[in-house]
């Protein structure tokens, strides 16, 4: 998979983590650098771990689904993208749920919850026959940077941009899924 496409996927997958980080930052009376760093580190780690686990699972079933793998990749990315857009449009208030003191348990729950979509993306990487190390590094680092920026930004501005980021991320994932499908059907050039 080309680096630009991996980068688009990384940014898109990071939008949930970014949105929650913005909310956590908005809840802070003043910037807590240690807490911002822990949020970013945990979100980045889990966002890198999940696609690796998905890739391992997808690699096991690659031969069984080769004939329709492009439909699986499209379906997974479209599902993730549409889910992100629906959550943003519904205006689900993640900020209300995260405005409490940060505990290790809460950080783990938020880290896993914001990275579940990345598990499905890992399956897509396996289906596409992509090596996994570069994508997980890009996804983890991108999530770390965006989560750190999100918590700092959230402290200054609040959660006003959370939904817009989620909608954009969802739209990009749907577009990448459609591109994979159209390439495999021969409608657009590889």
Relative orientation angle of helices 162-184 and 3-27, to the nearest 10 degrees: 160
Per domain, the residue ranges of the chain are 3-184
Which of left, alpha, beta for 103 (phi over 0: left; psi -120 to 50: alpha)?
Answer: beta
**168 pLDDT more than 60:** yes
92 DSSP assignment: -
Comparing 88-92, 112-116, 117-121, the range with the smallest average pLDDT is 88-92
pLDDT score at 158: 61
Buried b (16+ CB within 10 A) or exposed e, 64-94: ebeeebbbbbbebbbebbebbbebbeeeeeb
pLDDT category, 45, cuts 50, 70, 90?
very high
Comparing 96-105, 107-116, 139-148, 177-186, the range with the smallest average pLDDT is 96-105
pLDDT score at 134: 95
pLDDT score at 15: 86
Q: Are 81 and 173 in contact (CB under 8 A)?
A: yes
Average pLDDT over residues 148-155: 89
pLDDT category, 163, cuts 50, 70, 90?
low
Comparing 43-52, 152-161, 176-185, the range with the smallest average pLDDT is 152-161
pLDDT score at 97: 56
């Amino acid at each position: 998979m080309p680096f630009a496409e991996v980068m688009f996927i990384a940014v898109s997958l990071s939008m949930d983590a970014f949105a929650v980080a913005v909310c956590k930052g908005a809840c802070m009376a003043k910037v807590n650098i240690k807490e911002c760093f822990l949020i970013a580190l945990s979100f980045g780690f889990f966002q890198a771990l999940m696609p690796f686990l998905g890739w391992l699972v997808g690699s096991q079933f690659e031969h069984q689904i080769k004939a329709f793998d492009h439909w699986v990749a499209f379906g997974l990315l479209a599902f993730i993208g549409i889910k992100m857009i629906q959550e943003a449009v519904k205006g689900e208030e993640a900020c209300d749920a995260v405005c409490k003191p940060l505990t290790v348990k809460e950080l783990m729950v938020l880290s896993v919850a914001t990275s579940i979509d990345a598990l499905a993306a890992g399956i897509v990487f396996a289906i596409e026959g992509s090596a996994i190390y570069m994508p997980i590094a890009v996804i983890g680092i991108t999530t770390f940077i965006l989560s750190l920026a999100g918590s700092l930004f959230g402290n200054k501005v609040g959660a006003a941009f959370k939904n817009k980021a989620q909608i954009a991320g969802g739209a990009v994932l749907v577009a990448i899924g459609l591109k994979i499908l159209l390439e495999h059907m021969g409608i657009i050039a590889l």
